[in-house]
Amino acid sequence: MRWPIVPLYEIAEVSAGNPAPQELSAFSENGVPFIRMQDVGREHRTISLIESSDKVSQEAIERHRLRLFPVGSVLIPKSGASVNLNHRAMLGREAYVVSHLAVIIPNLEKVLPEYLYLWSLAYDPRSQAQTTSLPSLPLSLIKVARVLLPPLPEQHRIVDILSRAEGIVRLRREAEKKAAELIPGIFLDMFGDPATNPKGWPLEALGQHVVIPSVVRIPDHVMDANILCMGADSIESMSGKLISMPTVCEVLPKSGKYWFDANDVLYSKIRPYLAKVTLARTGGYCSADIYPLRCGPRLRPQFLLFLLLSRAFTEFATAESVRASMPKLNRETLFKYQFPLPPIELQDVFSAQTSDIQSILSQQAAATAKAQAAFDALLAQTFAVGV
């Protein structure tokens, strides 16, 4: 049976949120949720957004004449970098919404909120967004987006099927997150908190145990290979994945880069990437914004990786980073960092355990990717004629 395809404005109200009050007094712990872009971005995709970083006071609501949006409203970023990230959310409670978000309020006599949310996942207007200094998605464009509109009973059936598929993806991601949390837990259990050193390990300066390779040319043994190049924004904490940018040798920068080898720990020295660390799985080049740290004989890369990811070191790096136009942690400060150094034998046990867990994480990531691909294919098949 062929179902009608209608413009979005026929089945829903499409509006923008409210300009955010600028005075600090407008927000209070006892206020009503005020949904900002960061709240949607934190979830990326959620069918029940209820948490917000800010809560707006009743006095500010009245003074600024803010509009309260109902449960079931679908949120789509319409301005800023988030337009390109395709974040989506549906309100799980009444809330006020920032003006950078488009708010789609479904006509309940014609369309289910859950159906409209799932449709929004397939709606990808990025190629149509206006690009100036920042992407912008006009409400006029969203209003005329095409929606496949089956009868309400059929919408219920589609929502049930797609929700089950999305639920599988969500459960797999939650399992990944829990597995990833195992390693920091093992680190603390085995070595103790570096900030308090409850195990009483000797304190030593990081510079005694790591070096930063000074090579800024391609080693002879890789002259004929594609080269992996990395910037600070391409480090993925704990994942061990490097974003590959293969290139030919002639166009590689001649300075301002470091060569790193497999098992070097790559640490971004600039904000906002100070917490980004990874373990190199292969050799390549990295920008001068990254320190490739090569361990000495008494320090294992896996231990160093999770030391740099620990809360103790992150707080140290944040506090000590130079406050300039681009805050960074300089080499001298990094090398002076005092940390508890456990016996190498214990570090080896930790490395073996983390390797086993990383193998499980890789398998889980592959399973999640398959589940996501299956859901995306089902989503595209369902809404193909409507978007």
Q: CA-CA distance, 27 to 29, in Å (whole number)?
A: 7
Say what the pLDDT of residue 253 is: 47
Say what the pLDDT of residue 12 is: 96
CA-based max dimension of the chain: 74
- pLDDT means per 10 residues, the chain with 387 residues, are 89 94 86 91 89 91 94 91 82 94 96 96 73 71 93 95 90 83 91 95 96 70 63 54 42 60 87 73 79 94 94 86 66 92 96 87 86 90 73
219 contact partners, CB below 8 Å, separation of at least 6: 259, 283
Q: CA-CA distance, 98 to 52, in Å (whole number)?
A: 11
Alpha helices of the chain — where are they, by DSSP H?
37-43, 58-64, 113-122, 139-143, 152-180, 182-191, 301-308, 311-320, 331-336, 344-383
Q: Which tens digit of pLDDT belongs to each residue from 45-99?
A: 899 999 898 999 999 999 999 999 999 999 999 887 677 778 899 999 999 999 9
Q: CA-CA distance, 206 to 191, in Å (whole number)?
A: 16
Give SS3 for 226. Answer: coil
Say what the pLDDT of residue 242 is: 42
Say what the pLDDT of residue 360 is: 84
Q: Which tens digit of pLDDT belongs to each residue from 227-256?
A: 677 776 666 533 333 434 444 344 454 545
Give SS3 for 128. Answer: helix
Say what the pLDDT of residue 234 is: 67
Instruction: Specify whether the CB–CB gap between 157 and 360 falls below 8 A.
Output: no
